[in-house]
Amino acid sequence: MSMYSLVYKNKKFVAGVIGLVSLSFLVWLLWVGGVGDIANIGQNCVAKVDGSCITLRDYRRELLRYGDLLQNKDMEQLLREQVLESLIVQELLYAKAKKLGFLASNQEVIDLIKSDPSFQENGIFSISKYKESLARLGLEPAEYEEYIRKILTIQKLLNLIGNAVYLTPKEEEVNLLSQSFEIGGRIYIINPEDVPVSVSEKEILDFYTQNRENFKREPTKVVRLWIEKDKQKAEEIYRALRNRQEVPNFKEFKLPQQEGEFPTELKGELNRLSPTEPISLVKTGEGYAIVFLFKEEIGGYKSLEEVKAEIEKTLKEKKAQEQVKSLAEKVKEELTQGKDVPYRFFEFSKTPALQLLSVMKLGERDIFEILLSKEKVFGPYPLLRGYGVLVVQERSKKEIDQRQRAEFIKDLLSLKKDATINYYIESLRKGAKVKINRELIGG
């Protein structure tokens, strides 16, 4: 049961592969802009997957599909990571499909291309339109055909896995049961914060001693920067700093933490600065830059006093996490005895039993017990954080007609197919040798 309630990181990729076999998205790139760049990118590998190369060209092409979303700084890095992961998964599936003998034939590739409306005139495939469309994108027919072969080959493998999936009578029974019952009651929530814990001075000291490497202080430099177009003004700032005067209107950088924000053309000056010679005046494209080493901190280890509060918090959280289930067991016992308990709860009524799966991690046996038992208190069951104790106050059964039953079973089978495909992808990913060129993709 829990398999069906998971969120799978590759699901969008799987859906995309099934529906992607068309030139439509490539033609759309013409309107995005920057398409010419795609054709000029070399064969540098952004990643190697079991020896196979994912080129910078492939990576840039996939990124272009997200268009304006990449302008959103909050989403850009996430999108870049998702695109790269999808390409890695695609390469793994392609290699596996070829190994199993699912390589798409020339005829299959031709048939698909001829059926694409992007290459048709009056409903008939046009070789001239085909070549012209690809040429505008800087693509050779052989290159595009190989891409289509790859996607078709992957699709064959995914279809094989999906078509092999079925529902057992037990799975149907459990899921139909949870769909046909409605329940009302309360779920009491017991979080680690509810567990009273304390930490001794000895425990804090022992943790500090055993994990001292985690409390290293990296050497840091605080650098101030002034940019002036006027040479005379720049020299005035330089002299004032030499005379130990305060000069306003600077930008301050803590290095190496903010090294990416510091102007690239001035990074060479950082190596020349020292406590005895902390100021540099250099000409730049914008005028003149004054770089000032304001403060330098030597690396070493943080003292116990500096990290004591952090250690105490860590130890308390660890203890609470270890003891929260025991507390939840005690809460269940008190509720079974009819006692009031001082813990948060939320109340619900006439709720489909299946919705409990979105809140608590339940197995098949748990569902049967909750719906068919005469007991009222159940659990504790794992929540996203902590545990939940369920108190059932009412149960009611509703009839499901044949149409609803068929639709529900169809949806359930589709969900199981997705889950199976994603488990398969996950197993391939875990066993793969993947080397990512972070320097090439910038991150």
Q: What is the pLDDT of residues 301-321, one digit of tens each?
A: 888 888 899 999 999 888 888
More confident residue, 264 or 158: 158
Q: Which of 320, 317, 316, 334 is nearest to 380 (CA)?
A: 334
Give the strands of the sheet with 287-297, arranged side by side: 251-255, 220-228, 287-297, 279-284
- Residue 43 — pLDDT band, cuts 50, 70, 90? low
pLDDT at 273: 87
Structure tokens at 204: 């804090």
Check whether the bond before 256 is cis (ω within 30° of 0).
Answer: yes
- Report how far residue 399's alpha carbon sits from residue 404's, in angstroms, rounded to the nearest whole number: 10
Q: Which of helix, strand or coil describes residue 432?
A: coil
Classify residue 16 by its DSSP letter: H
Give 35-62 as a 3 state SS string.
HHHHHHCCCCEEEEECCEEEEHHHHHHH
The residues, ordered by sequence, that sit 6+ positions from 91 with a Cβ below 8 Å of its Cβ are 49, 50, 52, 54
Check whether the bond before 380 is cis (ω within 30° of 0).
Answer: yes
Backbone angles phi, psi at 191, to 5 degrees: -100, 165
- Residue 200 — pLDDT band, cuts 50, 70, 90? very high
Distances (CA, A) of 339 to 93, 187, 243, 335, 377: 56, 15, 76, 5, 12
pLDDT at 104: 92
The Cβ-side half-sphere exposure at 418, using a 13 Å CA radius, reads: 21
Residue pair 389/190 in contact (Cβ under 8 Å)? The answer is yes
Q: Please tell me the pTM assigned to this model.
A: 0.49
Helices and strands (H, E) in the chain, number of each type: 16, 15
- Report how far residue 57's alpha carbon sits from residue 433's, in angstroms, rounded to the nearest whole number: 21
Structure tokens at 390: 């369920």
Classify residue 34 by its DSSP letter: -
pLDDT at 107: 94
Mean pLDDT of the 71-93 span = 83
- Report how far residue 390's alpha carbon sits from residue 369's, in angstroms, rounded to the nearest whole number: 12
Mean pLDDT of the 208-231 span = 87
Mean pLDDT of the 26-55 span = 56
Classify residue 105 by its DSSP letter: P
- Is residue 442's pLDDT more than 80? no
pLDDT at 63: 79
Mean pLDDT of the chain: 81
